């Protein structure tokens, strides 16, 4: 059964070991921030650094494994239609909107979304790690500059992960207009 996360909103759920999670770009051009923790354990989380170490790349696609901070496999990408995602950028936050865009006050953001989603699942870590930014398109220049581009994903494109351990997963339909090509849209997911 497909679930839809409305634009700028979030969800969380238990993903059992061996289950498959498909994230679907409903309308095209929408980023989904994804984080995962070992179920019931706030000290083991999805780690970009360990994943870079063990996979030897910062481009993750079909066949890639994403690791925990304790060097254990958490998610394996079993199918990837788009082939372009980001694991460098931290979740957007109220502070980011203020510092980068001059937006004062409260603004929907992935950091708060992921924190609220995890709390709803009974998992309240002291920190939110760098998420796997599904469909986010970041170019790295030869000078090392990061350049956020519109997502390459089209309507209906998806990525499918296999859980390698029992996880609590949180997903945010990213509210940042900058990384979503100028608009905020819903994101879908299915658990098999």
Reduced to 3 states (helix: H, G, I; strand: E, B; else coil), residue 52 is: helix
Q: Would you kindly state where each structural domain of the chain is located, as residue ranges? A: 3-191
Q: What is the pLDDT of residue 105?
A: 86
Nearest to 36 by CA among 64, 61, 8, 68: 68
Mean pLDDT of 74-103: 95
Which pLDDT score is estimated for 117?
98
Spatial distance between the Cα atoms of 106 and 175, rounded to a whole number of angstroms: 12
* Cβ pair 121, 12 in contact under 8 A: yes
- Average confidence score pLDDT of the chain: 96
pLDDT value of position 107: 87
Lowest mean pLDDT among 49-63, 71-85, 100-114: 100-114
Rounded to whole angstroms, the Cα distance separating 156 from 185 reads 13
Structure tokens at 169: 């997963």
User: Residue 106 has what pLDDT?
Assistant: 86
Question: What would the pLDDT profile of 147-163 be if each residue is shown by its tens digit?
Answer: 999 999 999 999 999 99
DSSP 93-129: -HHHHHHHH---S----HHHHHHHHHHHTT---SS-P
Residue located via tokens 């199918």: 79
* Residues 3-38 pLDDT 10s: 999 999 999 999 999 999 999 999 999 999 999 999
Cα distance from N-terminal residue to C-terminal residue, the chain: 8
pLDDT confidence band for 103 (50 / 70 / 90): confident
Q: Contact, 4 vs 26, CB < 8 A? A: yes
Polymer length of the chain: 192
Q: What pLDDT sits at residue 38? A: 98
Assessment of whether the complete model's pTM goes beyond 0.85: yes
- The average pLDDT across 56-63 equals 96
């Amino acid at each position: 059964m497909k679930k839809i996360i409305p634009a700028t909103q979030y969800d969380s759920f238990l993903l059992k070991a061996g289950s498959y999670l498909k994230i679907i770009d409903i309308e095209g051009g929408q980023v989904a921030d994804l984080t995962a923790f070992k179920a019931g354990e706030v000290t083991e989380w999805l780690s970009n650094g360990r994943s870079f170490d063990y996979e030897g790349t910062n481009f993750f696609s079909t066949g890639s494994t994403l690791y925990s901070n304790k060097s254990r496999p958490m998610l394996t990408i079993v199918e990837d239609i788009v082939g372009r995602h980001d694991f460098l950028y931290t979740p957007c936050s109220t502070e980011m909107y203020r510092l980068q865009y001059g937006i004062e006050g409260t603004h929907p953001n992935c950091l708060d979304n992921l924190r609220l989603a995890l709390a709803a699942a009974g998992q309240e870590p002291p920190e939110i790690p760098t998420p796997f930014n599904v469909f986010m398109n970041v170019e790295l220049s030869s000078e090392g500059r990061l350049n956020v581009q519109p997502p390459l994903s089209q309507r209906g494109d998806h990525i499918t992960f296999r859980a390698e351990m029992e996880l609590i997963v949180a997903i945010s339909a990213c509210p940042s207009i900058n990384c979503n090509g100028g608009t905020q849209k819903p994101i879908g997911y299915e658990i098999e």
